Amino acid sequence: MTYEVFAVLAIFAPLLGAGVVPLVGLASRRARDVTAIAFGLVTAVATLLTLLAVGPDPVRVYAWIPILGVGFDLRVDALGAFIAAIAGTIGFLVVVYSLAYMRHAEEEGYSLSRYYALVLLFIGAMIGLGLSDSLLAFYIFWETVGLCSFALISFYHRDAKARRAGLKAFAVTRVGDIGLLVALVALWSAGGVVTFSGLDAAGIPRDILGLAAFGFLLAAIGKSAQVPLHVWLPDAMEAPTTISALIHAATMVNAGVYLVARTFPALEALGWWPQALLWIGSITALVAALSAYAEPDLKRVLAYSTVSQLGYMVAAVGAGAILASQFHLLSQAIFKALLFLAAGAVIQAVGTRDMYGMGGLRTKMPLASNAFLVGVLAMVGIPLFNGFWSKELLLDAVLEHGFLAPFLLLVVTTFVTAAYSWRAYWLVFHGTPRFAGAARDAPRPMSAVLVILTGAAATSWLLLGPYSETMAATMPAYPVEPLGLIAAGVAILRWPSGLVPLAVAGLSAYFVFRYGPRFERRLREGSAYARLVRSGFLLDAMYNALARRLADSAQRLRSTQTGDLNINVAGVLGGIVVIVVVLLLGVV
């Protein structure tokens, strides 16, 4: 019995659920909720069982479009299977959390059938994205997650901000997807390559490979919100917080990192590729961290934080540290989801996302406070939590491979990361309580999920050994070695790569608690720094100006539609003349 059947089940069960849930929802809300949970659970189990099916070889599941030579192929190796498992399990946890969290939305007239259908569709597409070997299937899943992301960002469709944010996210990521499209057709056309496995095999002309690499890079930058296409992610926080946790922290945004990791063996031969990843990653990490510090909106802080952490991962791939980047992906998925869901509980209790309207909530919402604290400790990189291990491994790998400048950028980023994390924790849960009303900890389903994620953040690092072994066994083309915890610990505690970040974290805590309040005042008064951040380091401002220019020129073009018959026919005559002249000029 082959275990591949679990892989197929993992992809198609949630897709089926996306169709079934709205139908059930026509009959009964209760039944719909139960159905959603059921599909989520089946999917989660299927993705975990898929881990049993890992192997280095691709599998043809279905001869999909024989006339084009395109099949539906899966590749169940560690890289993809872990992405799938994350999507499945965290997806399930989010569905459980949504039962209580989204109840208010139903009362306000938003359709939860649509919500659960989109979430399940998303989960299925994300799993398909991770497990696909066929490039066309990968593209379709990639676009589908983008479509779901857009639809879920604008879920609160009565809010114009949400609609705009959804369209912006869709448009920006689709610009990146142009790159994926070009890469896809270039490889298909010039090399006859229609699968990732085919890409690994040698023999593609170098200029085509370069074009494809550029395309993949562009797509990854868009999807993983790297500079300069990062502008959509902070605005995407208009989505329900469950969606921010699932899509914009744990899964979809990791797709870009997954893509660059997946294509690494084939593209690393192009000298500029790893360099580009390193620099884009580390610069993004720093810029995003700096932006996070200036934000008053709790979710936007977390959004920028996600961008920054993704920068770490991209840089790690550039340094060839595939294991470190993927292990950090796992850690980040867990602790970022934890942070978002804890934030969600707080935001729902308090009614605002503005951190200046919170404060002192530690006493009123102890569970959320502790959960958030664990997330912060993991993100800052305190030993005993998963973030410590993965981040240290990552920094160590970057330095090991000899990339000093990016390493320094990442270390500075660690300082800022810790700073904004302490700041967020302090503003929300400590300090003077600015929120007057009553706030209680979240209902049982939500709190249960928080507890589970807290446990995961504290323990997922223990999986390093089996994780790295599975990777090494199923991904022969990639530079991964099995790494046990003892060996990892020894490597990390080596100076400077191991201890510098620890010291930096402590230093930043001091900075925040000592100078924080003064800095906050200046931020609130609108310092130059705050203004720079608000304009997205000028990029957002630039894009908005570009969009306005386009809209204006479109408006002016309307004057060509005069309504005057003479002018219309004159246009025809002019066209004939121009065409004949052009052809005559071109004729040899």
Partner 1 sequence: MAVAPEVAVLPLTVLLAGVVVSFLQARGSRGRGASWTGLSASAFMFLAFASAMGLQAAGVSGRFQLFGTVPMEAGGLAYLLALIATGLGMAVSLYSVTYMREEPGLERYYPLLLLMTAGIVGIGFAADLFSLFVFFELMAIASYGLVAYDVREWEPLEAGMKYVVMSGTGSLVALLGIALVYFFAGTTDLAQLQVEAVRIPPAASVPAIGLLVAGFGLKASIVPFHTWLPDAHSAAPSGISAMLSGIVIEAGLLTLVKSLGIFVVPGGLPEVSFGFLLALLAVLTMTAGNLLALHQKDLKRMLAFSSIAQVGYILLGFGLAFEYGVRSGVEGSLFHLLNHAMMKGGAFLAAGLFLWYAGTRDLDRLAGIGRVAPIAGASFAVFALGLAGVPPMSGFLSKLLIAKAGLDAGGAWPLFFVVALAANSVLSLAYYVPAVNRIVFAEGRHPARRVPWTMQAPIAALALLTIVFGLLPDLPLQVVSSAADAFMRILGGA
Partner 2 sequence: MADGFLALNLGFAMALFALGLFAVVAKESLIRILLGIEVMGKGVTLAFVTAGYALDQLGTAQAFVFTIIVIEVVVTAIALAIMIRLQHATGRLDIRAMRRLAG
Q: Torsion over CA of 262, 265, 266 and 271, rounded to 10 degrees? A: 120
Q: Considering the rule CB under 8 A, would residue 586 count as an interface residue with partner 1?
A: yes
- State the Cα–Cα distance between residues 181 and 188, nearest whole angstrom: 11
Span near partner 2 by CB under 8 A; candidates 76-84, 266-274, 541-549, 557-565: 557-565
Interface residue with partner 1, options 38, 48, 140, 373 (CB under 8 A): 140
Q: Considering the rule CB under 8 A, would residue 581 count as an interface residue with partner 2?
A: no
Interface residue with partner 2, options 66, 554, 564, 586 (CB under 8 A): 564
CB 316 within 8 A of CB 324: yes
- State the Cα–Cα distance between residues 374 and 278, nearest whole angstrom: 29
CA 82 to chain centre: 15
Q: Considering the rule CB under 8 A, would residue 556 count as an interface residue with partner 2?
A: no
Helices (H), 381-498: 386-400, 404-429, 444-459, 464-474, 485-492
What burial class does residue 468 get, using C-beta atoms within 10 Å of its C-beta: 0-12 exposed, 13-18 middle, 19+ buried? buried
CB of 559 to partner 2, least distance (A): 8
Question: Pick from 325, 337, 173: which is nearest to 250 by CA?
Answer: 337
464-474 helix and 78-101 helix, angle to the nearest 10 degrees:
130
For residue 472, the partner it binds in partner 2, partner 1, none, with Cβ less than 5 to 8 A by kind, is none
Q: Considering the rule CB under 8 A, would residue 185 count as an interface residue with partner 1?
A: yes
From residue 413, alpha-carbon distances to 227, 421, 462, 500, 501 in Å are: 15, 12, 26, 12, 10
Site string for partner 2, 508-547 (x = CB under 8 A): ----------------------------------------
Burial 267-302 (b: 16+ CB within 10 A, else e): bbebeebbebbbbbbbbbbbbbbbbbbbbbbbbbbb
Question: Pick from 414, 416, 375: which is nearest to 396 by CA?
Answer: 414
- State the Cα–Cα distance between residues 369 and 360, nearest whole angstrom: 10
CB of 38 to partner 1, least distance (A): 25
Question: Pick from 318, 561, 539, 343: which is nearest to 453 by CA?
Answer: 343
* Cis-peptide into 296, omega within 30 deg: no
Spatial CB neighbours of 381, under 8 Å, sequence gap ≥ 6:
387, 388, 391, 392, 414, 418, 501, 502, 505
Q: Considering the rule CB under 8 A, would residue 546 count as an interface residue with partner 1?
A: no
CB of 566 to partner 2, least distance (A): 6
499 or 579: CB nearest partner 1: 579
Q: Considering the rule CB under 8 A, would residue 584 count as an interface residue with partner 2?
A: no
For residue 154, the partner it binds in partner 2, partner 1, none, with Cβ less than 5 to 8 A by kind, is partner 1
Q: Considering the rule CB under 8 A, would residue 570 count as an interface residue with partner 2?
A: yes
Interface residue with partner 1, options 49, 182, 487, 507 (CB under 8 A): 182
CB of 199 to partner 1, least distance (A): 15
From residue 293, alpha-carbon distances to 308, 329, 337 in Å are: 12, 22, 19
Q: Considering the rule CB under 8 A, would residue 491 count as an interface residue with partner 1?
A: no
Q: Considering the rule CB under 8 A, would residue 105 count as an interface residue with partner 1?
A: no
Q: Considering the rule CB under 8 A, would residue 551 count as an interface residue with partner 2?
A: no
Q: Considering the rule CB under 8 A, would residue 174 count as an interface residue with partner 1?
A: yes
Q: Considering the rule CB under 8 A, would residue 566 count as an interface residue with partner 2?
A: yes
- State the Cα–Cα distance between residues 416 and 286, nearest whole angstrom: 8
What burial class does residue 318 get, using C-beta atoms within 10 Å of its C-beta: 0-12 exposed, 13-18 middle, 19+ buried? buried
Site for partner 2 in 183-242 (CB under 8 A): none
For residue 580, the partner it binds in partner 2, partner 1, none, with Cβ less than 5 to 8 A by kind, is partner 1
CB of 336 to partner 1, least distance (A): 28
Span near partner 1 by CB under 8 A; candidates 126-134, 242-250, 361-369, 553-561: 553-561
Interface residue with partner 1, options 12, 64, 511, 529 (CB under 8 A): 64
Q: Considering the rule CB under 8 A, would residue 576 count as an interface residue with partner 1?
A: yes
CB of 573 to partner 2, least distance (A): 6
Question: Pick from 218, 259, 250: which is nearest to 88 by CA?
Answer: 250
For residue 185, the partner it binds in partner 2, partner 1, none, with Cβ less than 5 to 8 A by kind, is partner 1
For residue 566, the partner it binds in partner 1, partner 2, none, with Cβ less than 5 to 8 A by kind, is partner 2
Instruction: Catalog residues that contact partner 1 under the rule CB under 8 A.
Output: 64-68, 136, 139-140, 143-144, 147, 150, 154, 157-158, 163, 167, 170-171, 174-175, 178, 181-182, 184-186, 188-190, 211, 550-551, 553-555, 557-558, 560-563, 565, 568-569, 571-572, 574-576, 579-580, 582-584, 586-588
Instruction: Catalog residues that contact partner 2 under the rule CB under 8 A.
Output: 558-559, 561-566, 569-570, 573
